[in-house]
């Protein structure tokens, strides 16, 4: 398998969205009768044979397989969108390639960007999944405040990365530990370019979230997110 496309998979055929079909026929110029692979983003992969009938395309399923995730737990990154949207998109793309399972975009007191296009970001993430041959798409959502997030996500092991002085911080490599977290979801909050506010850090402490450090260097928001994903991939996915 050297190419992967997106579509809903039924027992006999894959229903490929119009935008995806345009890419197959007009951009890649794949020929009638070609055999390709399609995923639904939930672990299913179907080998299909394409049949072009005028402007209509039928993707006949030749075989279908389910790919189990080879590792546990899942990583959920909570990321504050950057003022420069290109940096947020770059973070999203690389985190997708590194097997992050969920990304929640969070708006904080020091956020420099207050609006994002979730649909556009989802498409960017799906493109990265296809490019990396990953049959699991990242779940993307947003929360308007840290309070909203804390009310929605009370399960899992939660850690906040911030720059304030604290003698309770632990290295991110210690926080991400397969033995420590077992089957629980790992949730890491990455602060905005101006860091989390004092009130937000205190809220995290009230919730007994762990405090995380990335080391001596002060990383940009997007760099910190990619770094967290890379540490996870190295410590969990490759075991």
pLDDT digits 0-9 by tens, 216-225: 888 999 999 9
Segments of the chain assigned to CATH 2.40.240.20: 5-66
- What's the topology of domain 5-66? Ribosomal Protein L25; Chain P (2.40.240)
**Is 80 exceeded by the pLDDT of residue 71?**
no
Average pLDDT, the chain: 91
Q: Is the pLDDT of residue 139 over 80?
A: yes
Q: Which spans in the chain are helix H?
A: 18-22, 85-97, 118-131, 146-152, 172-175, 178-181, 198-206, 221-232
Rounded (10°) CA dihedral 142, 146, 151, 156: 80
Query: Among 1.10.645.10, 3.40.1280.10, 1.20.120.420, 3.30.930.10, what is the CATH number of 75-237?
Result: 3.40.1280.10
pTM tops 0.75: yes
In this prediction, residue 148 carries a pLDDT of 95
pLDDT greater than 80 at residue 236: no
Q: For 57-77, what is the mean pLDDT?
A: 89
Work out the percent of the chain whose per-residue pLDDT is above 70.
95
For residue range 78-114, what is the model confidence (pLDDT) as tens digits? 999 999 999 999 999 999 999 999 999 999 999 999 8
pLDDT value at 180 more than 60: no
Q: In what order do the strands lie in the sheet with 5-6?
A: 5-6, 35-39, 44-53, 56-66, 13-15, 8-9
pLDDT at 239: 60
Measure the CA–CA gap between 118 and 140, rounded to whole angstroms.
Answer: 7
Distance CA 199, CA 207 (A): 12
The per-residue pLDDT for 156 is 78
The boundaries of every CATH 3.40.1280.10 domain in the chain are: 75-237
Residue 179 has pLDDT above 70, yes or no: no
């Amino acid at each position: 398998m050297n190419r992967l496309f997106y579509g809903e998979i039924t027992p006999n055929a894959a229903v490929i969205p119009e935008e995806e079909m345009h890419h197959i026929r007009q951009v890649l110029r794949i020929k009638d009768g070609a055999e390709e692979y399609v995923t639904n983003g939930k672990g299913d992969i179907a080998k299909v044979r394409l049949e072009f009938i005028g402007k209509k395309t039928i993707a006949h399923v030749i075989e279908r397989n389910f790919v189990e995730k080879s590792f546990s737990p899942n990583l959920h990154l909570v990321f504050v969108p950057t003022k420069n949207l290109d940096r947020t998109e770059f973070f999203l793309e690389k985190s997708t390639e590194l097997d992050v399972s969920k990304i929640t975009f969070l708006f904080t007191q020091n956020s420099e960007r207050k609006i994002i296009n979730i649909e556009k970001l989802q498409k960017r993430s799906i493109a990265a999944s296809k490019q990396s041959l990953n049959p699991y798409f990242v779940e993307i959502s947003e929360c308007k405040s840290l309070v909203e997030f804390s009310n929605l996500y009370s399960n899992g092991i939660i850690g906040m990365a911030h720059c304030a002085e604290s003698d309770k911080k632990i290295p991110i490599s210690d926080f991400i530990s397969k033995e420590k977290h077992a089957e629980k979801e790992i949730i890491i909050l990455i602060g905005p370019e101006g860091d989390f506010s004092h009130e937000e850090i205190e809220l995290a402490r009230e919730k007994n979230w762990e405090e995380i450090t990335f080391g001596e260097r002060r990383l940009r928001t997007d760099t910190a997110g990619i770094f967290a994903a890379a540490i996870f991939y190295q410590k969990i996915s490759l075991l």
